[in-house]
Every structure is written in C-alpha cells, then in structure tokens.
Structure 1
Amino acid sequence: MAHLVKFTLFARSEDLLDEWRQNFQALAPPEVLDRVTIIQNSFEDLKTSFDCIVSPANSFGRFDGGFDQVLSDTLAPADDPTALTRTAQTILYSQWLGYAPPGTCTLIPLQNTPCFPNSFNCKYIALCPTMRIPASVSWHKEIVYNCVWSLLAQIYRHNDLAEKDPGLGLSTITSVAMTGLATGIGCVSNKICARQTALAFAHFHDSVSHPEKWSNLSWRDIEELGSLNRRLPMDG
C-alpha cells in the first residue's frame, strides 16, 4: 500500500521548489516521480484534502510556533487552540514517554479528537521532529534524510497493518502533504533539504522493491548508496 501513497510537497520559496524539482529528477526513479507533486503554495491556501500532514515538529509535540502554529490554527477549534498540542502529547507519552527523538516519525490520529473533522479532512499528523527544541540543526548533516525515511517507513507499516487487519479500524493513508523540513528555524539549506528528501524517497523505493538486498546489506551495498550530501552535475 505505501508505494501507492501520493505526496504533495509545497512551499512558497521558489528556491526550495527548484531544488526539489532538480533533485527528484536527478535522483528518483519514475515510479517515485509519478506520485510526488511539487507546488508553490502556502498551507492555508491548499485547496484539497489530505489523509496525513507532516509536522517538522519539536521532540515534545508543542504546536505553538512556525509551521506547527499554522497547523494548530488550521486544525484545532478556534475555541480550543491547544487541542492539537494536547492530542500530540498524549500520543507521544504513550509511545515515547513524552519525548520523540529527532529523526523519528510518530503518527498522531486526529479522529475522535477535537481536531476532527477539519477543513483538510486530515486524519493523521505525522510528527517528524527535526529538532529537540526550536534551534538551528544545520550541524546535523542527515536529519532531513532520517525524518523522511522514518515518515515513509511509518506510513508503510501503518498501511500494511490497516490492510492486513481491518478490525483495527485504521484509516489507510493515501495522500500526504509535506513542506520543507528544517529549512526555517532549523537553518538547513534548501539544497540539502531537497537532496536528502529525494534520496530518502529513492532509497526507500529501492528497499521496498528489493527486500532480498535490503534485508542483507553488505558494506559494498551501503557504500553504493553514496553520500547523502554528494555533489551532482547540476551543482557546477
């Protein structure tokens, strides 16, 4: 199921959009390109519904700054502005005892909470902390790759479980909205964000397509994956 998920990457920055386009074209196979749409837009102006929206988050699940504040303003009831934070922190405590390490992904169900229904018909927030607390993480050379891989793996497992055991009542995730990870307060460059996002998509697709390889990786296999920040011909 996870390989059928459609992703919408959105941003207002033309530079980030260009980096996404160039890096996905250079690094991702056609099967990935077919399910990734890149558009210039703000979150509030997206005119469609999504099963899941990605939060670049902090490890403590507080939705009160940056893009997370936008999510609160959009998904939480006007008379209950902290509803999204409470919902996220309840799940974070049950799964991580309150602290989700940077680079992980936690799916936050919104159904049966004050945040559902909402204008996007969003059923899950994918909380992907790029930082422990709001601060620069440009020192962390792999944080975006780690977050995107964790996101893809979590959605894959979720959809697999939803398909195999309908009695659990899990809603299948088929559409995901995601903005740039760590490109704001995190101070990760648009180039690094885009490259690591595209590489994570490409590598994850290869993993799903070749389980015999990825379940028995040699050092040679690992070296062939290349550096997460390798130069491409387009870099000049």
Structure 2
Amino acid sequence: MPVKFVLFDIYDELVAAWQQAFPALVPPEALEHITIKGASLDDLDVSFDTIVSPANSFGRLDGSFDQVLSDYIAPESDNDALTHAAQAVLYQRWRGYAPPGTCTLVPLVRTPCEHNQLGVRYVALCPTMRTPENVKWNKEVVYNCVWSLLVAIDNHNAEVAADPEKAAREGAAPIECVAMTGLATGVGAVSPEVCAKQMACAFTHYHEAKARPEKWGALKWRDIFKLPVYFSEEFDD
C-alpha cells in the first residue's frame, strides 16, 4: 500500500505555495497520496504514524517546531526525552552529527516517548541546518531532505516486509502515513515558493525513479541536466 503524506502548516503563504506547486509538478498518481492542510498539530484531523522534524544536525529538539514536537511527544516529567532518543540514534548511525539533507528514522517504541499524545511510532529527523541559522545559501537542502525521507521510508518498509519476525521482536512496524510541515521556512528563511517547488520536485523525481528503474539506475548527463530542482533565487542575497 502506498505511503500517505500530510503536508500541514499554519502559514497561509506556504500552504498556498504547496497548493500551487504540487498540482502543477506532481503527477496525479503520486498526488493522490498527498494531502495539503492549513492547520496546526492541534487542528490536524488525520491520524499518522510518523512525523518529520526539520531538525538541526545534532538532534537537539528544543526550539521552534522541534520544541512543539517535544511538548507533544516527550513525557511531562522529561521534556528532553525526545532529544535523548534522537541523539542516541544519531550517535549510532552518524556518531552524533547527521549532515543537512539526510533523514534518520527515530523509533519511539521502547523509549520514554513511546506512549505520546500524537500516537506516532517514528520521528523522521530531516536536518535542514547544522545549527539554527539562515540556510538560503544551501540551495538544494529542501529537495535533499525530502528525497532522503522517501528513501528512508522505502528502505524501512522493505526491511519490515522482508523479516516480519525480526520486526515484531524489535517493535518495528510499516510506515503508512507521514505528517510534515514546511522545511527551512522558519529560521532557515527559505521562501515558501522555493520550499514548495523543491518538495514537489523531490516527490515527482522519486516517483519517476521508482517507476523507471532502468533509467534512474543508469542516468545519463542529458537526463540529469533536465531535472529541475528550483534552486533558491535568494542565493545571492
């Protein structure tokens, strides 16, 4: 079953940019699994098992939307519990530093965050920045984060399907629905239009990559240079 995605944000400009970019750039067969909502976490009226954190590279979930996630997911007795869970995984995989543009899935089962208000099983850490800062200079970071997210979800679901007994022992489950806000549109200062177009392009190119492995498994330069990713027009600011 295809994974569903819920794009939500409280900023009208970003929601409007998504609503314009996704129908224009994403093919209908991929778009039908993507929902766009102008909403906060409080107002989100859909269920999801995974939520994306536009984190920093060190997994400190204590500012901006990451602090909101900690407030919802960490127990009241330990607001840093989500940060601790994230950093444990980041150390195991990245020795504590996940480069911007990557994605790391943090399982919450068997952690103090397992029984959380959102009912999520996973947090997908997609750092858009090394530390909180303006990242308009990083022209591909939004595209890279979404691409890495899609790869991480696919690989996770394939591993669960390949060895259900191991997954059951580890408390792993397929990812079925992912909620995500804008990436780098707050502190990162990436414009809503650039964010929306890069997110849409990542979904589009990934959909094509899965549908046409013969092409994407042997890309020629002529194919590569035809792939628009809408680099930030703000790069020289």
Which stretches in structure 1 are left out of the alignment for 5+ residues? 232-236
TM normalised by structure 2 equals 0.94
For residues 104-130 of structure 1, the C-alpha deviation after alignment (integer angstroms, 9 at most, x for no partner) is: 000000011111111221000000000
Offset of residue 230 of structure 1: 9.0
Alpha-carbon contact 2:21-2:197 (below 8 Å) kept: yes
The alignment status of 1:149 with 2:151, answered yes or no, reads no
Q: Residue 223 of structure 1 aligns with which residue?
A: 225
Q: Structure 2 residue aligned with 1:183, among 185, 192, 204?
A: 185
Q: Identify the residue that residue 113 of structure 2 maps to in structure 1.
A: 115
Alpha-carbon distance in 2 for matches of 1:75, 1:227: 33
Match of 1:193 in 2: 195
User: C-alpha deviations, 1:142-183, integer Å up to 9, x for none?
Assistant: 100000000001001111111111122121000000000000
- Whether 1:205 and 2:172 are equivalent positions in the alignment is no
- In structure 2, relative to structure 1, the CA distance for the partners of 1:125 and 1:186 (3 Å cut) is same
Cα offset, 1:227, TM superposition: 4.4
Question: Which of 33, 42, 46 lines up with 1:44 in the alignment?
Answer: 42
Q: Deviations over 1:25-50 (max 9, x none)?
A: 11100011100000011123323331
Say what the alpha-carbon RMSD is for the aligned residues.
1.3
SS in 2 for 1:7: strand
Q: Give the residue type in structure 2 aligned to 1:187.
A: A
Alignment-derived partner of residue 94 in structure 1: 92
* Structure 2 unpaired stretches of 5+: none
Distance in 1 of aligned mates of 2:162 and 2:94: 25
8 Å Cα contact 2:52/2:125 also seen in 1: yes
Whole-angstrom distance in 2 between the partners of 1:152 and 1:41:
23
Q: Does the 8 Å CA contact 2:194/2:232 hold for their aligned counterparts?
A: no
> What is the one-letter code of the residue matched to 1:152?
L
- 1:177-228 C-alpha deviation (Å, 9 max, x unpaired): 0000000000000000000000000000000000010000000111121343
CA gap 1:21/1:131 in 2 versus in 1, 3 angstroms: same
Mapped contact 1:5–1:176 kept (Cα < 8 A): yes
The residue matched to 1:45 in structure 2 has which SS? coil
Q: Which moved more, 1:110-119 or 1:56-65?
A: 110-119
- Structure 2 counterpart of 1:165, which letter? D
Maintained 8 Å contact 1:5/1:175: yes
Q: Counterpart of 2:95 in structure 1: which amino acid?
A: L
TM-superposed deviation, 1:52: 0.5
Q: Name the counterpart of 1:234.
A: none
| Deviation per residue, 1:45-93 (Å, 9 max, x gap) | 3233311100000000001000000000000001111100000000000
**Change beyond 3 A, Cα 1:227–1:119:** closer
> Are the aligned partners of 2:57 and 2:131 in contact in 1 as well (CA < 8 Å)?
yes
| DSSP 3-state at the match of 1:60 | coil
The aligned counterpart of 1:128 is 126
Q: For 1:65, which of 63, 67, 83 is the aligned residue? A: 63
Measured after TM superposition, the shift of residue 13 of structure 1 is 1.1
Residues 60 and 87, structure 2, Cα contact 8 Å, conserved in 1: yes
User: Who is 1:80 aligned against?
Assistant: 78
C-alpha distance in 2 between matches for 1:192 and 1:88: 28
**Equivalents in 2 of 1:28, 1:148: separation in Å?**
14
* 1:15 CA drift (Å): 1.0
The AA in structure 1 aligned to 2:89 is: I
- Per the normalisation by structure 1, the TM-score is 0.94
Partner of 1:5: 3
Shift of the alpha carbon at 1:134? 0.4
